[in-house]
Amino acid sequence: MKVLVAYATAKGSTRGIAERLGSCIEGLGQEVDVRAATDVSYVHSYDVIVLGSAIHDGQWLADASDAVERLRSQFEGKRVWAFSVSSVGVTSTTLSRRLARLLRRVTPEPRAVQLLRDAADVRDHRFFAGAIAPGDWPGFGRVVFTLMGGHYGDARDWSDVCTWAGTIAAESTRDTERRT
């Protein structure tokens, strides 16, 4: 079973999550490559593809959406998993907890994930909270972030990241056993 974890990041927190997903999946006995989405042209040699991106303005970064377009014809027969890294994850957030609860209910999937679902067998899409530093937001965004009860820092929940990696590894093992 060979797994590719591909990611797009602006400030590095998504790369950190991709690397941790990779090491957790590897720890469960699978062979894993972790690569920037821009460096991926072929996925033929992988059985499982995990593709993720930082969220800017509600959407995946162009590097990740471009990868969906570029690779879509190669996804047939592969198991694909998607993740998004934003201010609000399933288990943690850089915003106020009350606002995060609301946003979890109403935030739509990024368009690139919807396109991915059209092209591939997407097993799951998960939101993780990332990290944010005072200089990251442009001027007005910084004001809105403060009004939304935002706090700077690293909200990545490593335990949730590794639990999700475990789900990917377990389902991949089950699929392989079913095929043999």
What's the min distance (Å) between Cβ of 23 and ligand FMN? 17
Geometric angle at alpha carbon 20, from 52 and 121, rounded to 5°: 35
Q: Is 48 left (phi over 0), alpha (psi -120 to 50) or beta?
A: beta
# residues contacting ligand FMN (CB under 6 A)? 21
For position 105 contacting ligand FMN by CB under 6 A, the verdict is: no
Binding mask 113-132 toward ligand FMN (x if CB under 6 A, else -) reads -----------------xxx
Q: Please provide residue 54's backbone torsions phi and psi, each rounded to the nearest 5 degrees.
A: -65, 150
User: Using CB under 6 A, which of 57, 76, 118, 177 touches ligand FMN?
Assistant: 57
Instruction: Report how far residue 126's alpha carbon sits from residue 140's, in angstroms, rounded to the nearest whole number.
Output: 28
What's the min distance (Å) between Cβ of 77 and ligand FMN? 30
Given the complex with ligand FMN, which of 137 and 158 has the nearer CB atom?
137
Handedness of CA 3, 69, 105, 89 (dihedral sign): positive
With a CB cutoff of 8 Å and minimum separation 6, the contacts of 136 are: 11
Residues 140-159 that bind ligand FMN (CB under 6 A): 141
- The site for ligand FMN (CB under 6 A) is made up of 9-14, 54-58, 85-88, 130-132, 136-137, 141
